[in-house]
Amino acid sequence: MLHELRIENLLLLDRAELRLGPGLNVLTGETGAGKTLLAHALDLLLGGRARAGLVRAGAAEAYVEGVFSRPPRASVHELIPDGADEIVLARRLWPDGRTRAYLCGRSATVADLRELGSQVLSFYGQHEHRKLMLATAQLEILDAHCGARQLQLRSELRAAYDRVRELAARVAELAEMAAGRERELDLLEFELDEIEAVGPRQDEADALGQERERLRHVEGLRAAAALGAEMIAPEAGGGVGDLLAHAARQMESAAAIDPELRALFDRLQALLYEARDLGGELRSYVLGIEGSPERLEQVEDRLAAFARLERKHGGTIADVVRHAEECRRRREQLEHADLALGAAEADLAAARAELDRLAGELSAARHAAAPRLAAAVRERLAELAMPDARFEVDVRPRADGCGPRGADGVELLIAPNAGLPAGPLREIASGGELSRVMLALLSVAHGDGAEGASAAMLVFDEVDAGIGGHTARAVGEQLRQLARGRQVLCITHLPQVAALAERHFTIAKDASTVPATTTVTELNGDSVVGELVRMLGAGEGDRAASRHARQLLKAA
């Protein structure tokens, strides 16, 4: 139950505070006064989408808060204090469309509001009855009437349906693979033979690249090494080595006197040894380097083979190696395609059998529940001034086979008047008749003894649209009956409905301010009579309308 609803700076509403009670609560007011703003405020508490422009002009922010009784089956949530009897849902909005949600005074997510809001409030908007024209909505109504087991079956069937689609796609893929297997295997074998014949390795490619450069410049390398050897240690004597040896001999006796000079002498000796060793190695390099044109041609051919593979399979030796591994994996897959296809077909057959079983169980439950739902709705329609209406729930196989909701299609049929054949609801019923059918369905869904019926607050935003006269009284009686043992808030234009309320709120707009201001007031006593007179379309001093209003209240 909603105990309190507070709204600040939401469009025309500067500040509104409603204290609701159990039973039927109604909200009335002139068209354009802002009645739907209250419905929008409740939608925000349910985690509904907030758009830019909802904040009242000149205000820094808007705020909506609802204090609800905690339902017996409320989900355990970390933000709800242990032992709390109430749930406080709140939403703060800024002019740019940003929002922040709160649960029991703590920051929460919109998903938190949506989860808990669905347990404490069910909202039916102005155009809710139009959904009855949709085949999917009609199927949902019947399945909801079947009970919790049906909803579980629906979930299992959806999973089975997805599994069948997944396996069917796998079978099609394997069948296509098997059809072109030989041709693809030939291509794979050709590419693998080509790669394996070369046997490319990155380390070999690096080494061959270096060898090719050496072979291409062998004469220059030999000349450079020979020149270096000649300058350091020429065969005829002299050179850098002899100069270093002469310097060492000159310093040797003096180095024994001064330790600092001894250190420098040691470094000179090291240079001498390194020069003699380097000269020898340079001469060995000159004698060892070979420049065979035949070897250069072999290296060039090998690197050219590597380059051809790189151009065909990715640009690098690593890409070529990966492509070879992929070819081997694909070859193995193709070689076992028949076995994989057979296994997938067996899995698909089993999945289809499970889907058929679930669809059959769903269908049986729907056929069993359809006449019960139809009878219950006909009973409610009789109470809603449609005593001669025929209402049927037609369950028939889907033309395109089993879908994600099962193998059945559902059509709600109605004949509003006696002697006429029943036809599809979307083709036969008027707006007022659709509203009454929806109210009858809701009464069946939420009425006493309904399987899975919830004690959540019900909010109706002009569910009585398109209805008037004696029918309006019947609709009001149905709403009051629906409000027994629970809380109902109805936004209405009908005095016949408003007269039956246990609490009456009115909303009025003051256009003399800029921006205009809307206020919400709870009515009592003569103020209720005055509002009913306005709803009857009469002036404030109309005594006949006043008597009529009092008669409506007395009859309630």
Place of tokens 């940003």: 98
Phi/psi of residue 434, nearest 5 degrees: -60, -40
CA nearest neighbour of 9 among 75, 66, 64: 64
405: tokens are: 């909701």
172: tokens are: 């099609």
Instruction: Please give the tally of structural domains in the chain.
Output: 1
Q: Cis ω on the peptide bond leading into residue 515 (within 30° of 0)?
A: yes
Specify if 495 maps to a domain.
no
Q: Tell me what pLDDT residue 417 has.
A: 84
Specify if 297 maps to a domain.
yes
Q: How far is CA 301 from the centre of its chain?
A: 57
Specify if 282 maps to a domain.
yes
Specify if 250 maps to a domain.
yes
Q: Tell me what pLDDT residue 373 has.
A: 92
- Give the mean pLDDT per block of 10 residues along the chain (556 residues): 90 86 89 76 85 86 90 61 82 91 89 82 67 80 86 93 94 77 76 86 88 86 86 79 86 87 90 88 84 85 89 86 87 74 89 95 94 91 86 92 92 86 83 79 69 66 73 85 86 89 89 81 90 87 88 85
Q: Tell me what pLDDT residue 452 has.
A: 46
388: tokens are: 């001669």
Q: Would the pTM count as exceeding 0.75?
A: no
Q: Is 193 exposed, middle or buried (0-12, 13-18, 19+ CB in 10 A)?
A: exposed
CA nearest neighbour of 42 among 130, 108, 110, 122: 122
Q: Tell me what pLDDT residue 24 has.
A: 92
Specify if 302 maps to a domain.
yes
Contacts of residue 488, Cβ cutoff 8 Å, sequence gap at least 6: 23, 24, 25, 457, 458, 459, 460, 479, 482
| Domain extent at residue 313 | 182-335
Helices (H), 217-316: 218-232, 239-255, 259-288, 293-313
Contacts of residue 14, Cβ cutoff 8 Å, sequence gap at least 6: 8, 56, 517, 518, 519
Specify if 271 maps to a domain.
yes
- Sign, Cα dihedral of 81, 86, 87, 88: negative
Specify if 286 maps to a domain.
yes
Q: Is 504 left (phi over 0), alpha (psi -120 to 50) or beta?
A: beta
103: tokens are: 């649960």
Place of tokens 């002299």: 238
Specify if 266 maps to a domain.
yes
Phi/psi of residue 236, nearest 5 degrees: -85, 0
Contacts of residue 501, Cβ cutoff 8 Å, sequence gap at least 6: 23, 24, 25, 26, 490
Amino acid making up residue 366: R
Place of tokens 């036809």: 423
